[in-house]
Amino acid sequence: MTLREFFTDHPRAALGFSGGVDSSFLLWAARSCGAEVKAYYVSTAFQPAFEREDAMRLAASLGIVPEVIELDILSCREVTANPPDRCYHCKKRIFGAVAQRAAEDGYIVLIDGTNASDDASDRPGMRALQELRVLSPLRICGLTKEEIRRQSREAGLFTWNKPAYACLATRTQAGEQLTAENLRRTEEAETALHELGFSDFRIRHKGDHAMIEVTRSQIQLLMENGRQITQTLKNLGYKNILVSPEPRKPSI
């Protein structure tokens, strides 16, 4: 099946839109296929400000104004307890909110940007999508991340080479309570490194300990800015700053 065939069968749908590579391409493809797709952006404490800005900018370039749903994800104890299947509980709340709003707007079909490269066995969130009957056109049509990036580039979407970005909650190891404070600290720490020129990196933490992960190509940049980074993170409350002994694998 092609995307055009999918949208011929489903000409009207609600899209859970994040502004990442996949959902951005899917929004563009839906428009190109003449489908009536409404984009819903669910804003939670797990997304940094730049993600929302990217989403709004991409949508604006397509002449679309997404509907923003504000969701207090930290009120969900199953999420803040941060169990190994946190993504399941989080995804269920997020797409449950989209489903409710979409139904109010008259949309029956829900879609998302899961692609054919995503490993279902390693993504608890996919179980939530199945339970809520969310369709994944990119996956259904066999489109891999590499192919989505290629077509996004041809379409002129600035997201074509955007690094994969996991939500802020992934920086805290399973079992450690998620709080507004540690999410804020993580965002400020990663924003500081981004302003120094870093991309596709992570700052993970356990309590007051920070672990920096960078790709091999950014090790020199890390060495050049080591003193400033250490001071910045200590100012944010981290007591011990470590660098991962293994370079981070570039995101696809």
131-165 pLDDT, tens digit each: 999 999 999 999 999 999 999 999 999 999 998 88
Same domain, 216 and 154: no
Domains: count for the chain: 2
Residue 119 has pLDDT above 80, yes or no: no
Mean pLDDT of 239-248: 92
Residue 250 has pLDDT above 90, yes or no: no
Does residue 171 belong to any structural domain of this protein?
no
CATH of the domain at 18: 3.40.50.620
The pLDDT of residue 122 is: 58
Interval 27-50: pLDDT, tens: 999 999 999 999 999 999 999 999
Does residue 166 belong to any structural domain of this protein?
no
Same domain, 97 and 210: no
Phi/psi for 38 (5° steps) reads: -100, 130
The first and second tokens of residue 166, run together, are 């996991």
Residue ranges making up the domain that contains 201: 179-243
Does residue 99 belong to any structural domain of this protein?
yes
Whole-structure pTM value: 0.91
Mean pLDDT of 247-251: 86
Residue 206 has pLDDT above 90, yes or no: no
Same domain, 157 and 207: no
Mean pLDDT of 93-107: 97
Does residue 50 belong to any structural domain of this protein?
yes
Mean pLDDT of 103-115: 96
Find all residues with CB under 8 Å of 173, minimum gap 6, and list them. 82, 204, 206
Q: Which strands, in side-by-side order, build the sheet including 202-206?
A: 202-206, 209-213, 240-243
Same domain, 91 and 156: yes
Which value, to the nearest 10 degrees, does the dihedral of the CA atoms of residues 251, 206, 247, 83 take?
-40
Does residue 22 belong to any structural domain of this protein?
yes
Same domain, 226 and 147: no
Same domain, 16 and 44: yes
The pLDDT of residue 147 is: 97
Contact 6, 137 (CB under 8 A): yes
Same domain, 143 and 96: yes
Same domain, 122 and 231: no
Contact 21, 148 (CB under 8 A): yes
Q: Give me the residue label for tokens 């679309």.
A: 64
Same domain, 195 and 119: no
Same domain, 110 and 219: no
As to burial, measured by CB atoms within 10 angstroms (0-12 exposed, 13-18 middle, 19+ buried), residue 125 is buried
Residue 252 has pLDDT above 70, yes or no: no
The mean pLDDT of the chain is 93
Same domain, 31 and 130: yes
Residue 64 has pLDDT above 80, yes or no: yes
Same domain, 75 and 189: no
Mean pLDDT of 90-100: 96
